[in-house]
Amino acid sequence: MTGVAVEVRHASLRSDEATILDDVTTDVGYGRLLALVGPNGAGKSSLLSLLTGDRAPTSGAVHLDGRPAGEWSARELSRRRSVLLQSNQVAFSFAAGQVVAMGRTPWIGTERARLDDARIAEAVERADVAHLLHRAYPSLSGGEKARVSLARVLAQDTPVVLLDEPTAALDLRHQEEVLRVARRLARDGRAVVVVLHDLSLAAAYADEVAMIDGGRLVARGNPRDVLTADRVEAVYGTPVRVLDDPDTGRPVILPRRHAER
């Protein structure tokens, strides 16, 4: 697919007296991977909730495929976009394999249900969870739950994929693998949005980076233009050094440290 998948226009989000998002305009296109970055409490997850259509802005507009997000039914949304939330909780003691299979729920009774086994198998391989399928989901570690939940999202097989901090509980190898999966999804033509805390991961894999601070979009563009040392220091309040990765040429962002005496 081509064109804009999800667009946010002059969207604000308020709760009681607090302004969570303030006049944000951005979009994500098919075939693109957009990383949302910013300090804790900046509004990244809140912006993602607008992109999912699960939350309506207080003012402004959100469109999915050119149609107001509020006009999509829950079933329609589940077939158009898949979402990985920060919290990977399941109410009952399902096996991990059953949790992955839940990703196929939107396609029950449709022609695409015949693809269930193939899509589940692909998702299990991509998320590296084959050895976990018979384990009770509550018994898994935080990182294992995150990967099983990612497999569920992949099994859903939607054109738009929205991932909220998918690497937070993962070891180094699986952080890289998850971002490689996200990169491949975008290369295959899907629109992918990933909320990340690791700026170097964002720089390494994203087509574009959107930086949020205090509920406002302070910069958006290619990683090199957005993740400058001056901007990162201003937004995060700590000095950094931006280097070039010798293998990829992409920026690597490191905190500047002084040796303790």
User: How confident is the model over 54-65, as pLDDT tens digits?
Assistant: 999 999 999 999
Yes or no: say if 214 and 208 are a contact pair by the CB < 8 Å rule: no
Q: Is pLDDT above 80 for 248? A: yes
pLDDT computed for residue 2 by the predictor = 72
pLDDT computed for residue 169 by the predictor = 85
Characterise 43 by phi-psi region: left (phi > 0), alpha (psi -120 to 50), beta (else): left
Q: Write the single-letter amino acid at 163.
A: L
32: its two tokens: 């693109």
Q: What is the pLDDT of residues 186-215, one digit of tens each?
A: 999 999 999 999 999 999 999 999 999 999
Label residue 258 by pLDDT band (50, 70, 90). Answer: confident
pLDDT computed for residue 93 by the predictor = 82
Label residue 102 by pLDDT band (50, 70, 90). Answer: very high
**Distance of alpha carbon 161 from alpha carbon 234, whole angstroms:** 30
Domain 4-89+158-255 has CATH 3.40.50.300: yes
pLDDT computed for residue 232 by the predictor = 98
Q: Write the single-letter amino acid at 248.
A: T
Average pLDDT over residues 31-45: 96
Domain ranges of the chain: 4-89+158-255
pLDDT, the chain, mean: 94
Q: Is pLDDT above 70 for 88? A: no
pLDDT computed for residue 1 by the predictor = 66
123 vs 168: which has the higher pLDDT = 123
In this structure, of 18-32, 84-98, 107-121, 125-139, the range with the lowest mean pLDDT score is 84-98
**Distance of alpha carbon 169 from alpha carbon 148, whole angstroms:** 12
Q: Is pLDDT above 80 for 155? A: yes
Label residue 17 by pLDDT band (50, 70, 90). Answer: confident
pLDDT computed for residue 250 by the predictor = 96
pLDDT computed for residue 132 by the predictor = 97
Q: In the chain, pLDDT over 70 holds for what percent of residues?
A: 97
The per-residue DSSP string of 74-138 comes to HHHHHHHEEEE-S----SS--BHHHHHHGGGGGGTTSGGGGGHHHHHHHHHHHHT-GGGTTSBGG
The per-residue DSSP string of the chain comes to --SEEEEEEEEEEEETTEEEEEEEEEEEETT-EEEEE-STTSSHHHHHHHHHTSS--SEEEEEETTEEGGGS-HHHHHHHEEEE-S----SS--BHHHHHHGGGGGGTTSGGGGGHHHHHHHHHHHHT-GGGTTSBGGGS-HHHHHHHHHHHHHHH--SEEEEESTTTT--HHHHHHHHHHHHHHHHTT-EEEEE-S-HHHHHHH-SEEEEEETTEEEEEE-HHHHS-HHHHHHHHSS-EEEEE-TTT--EEEEE------
Average pLDDT over residues 235-259: 94
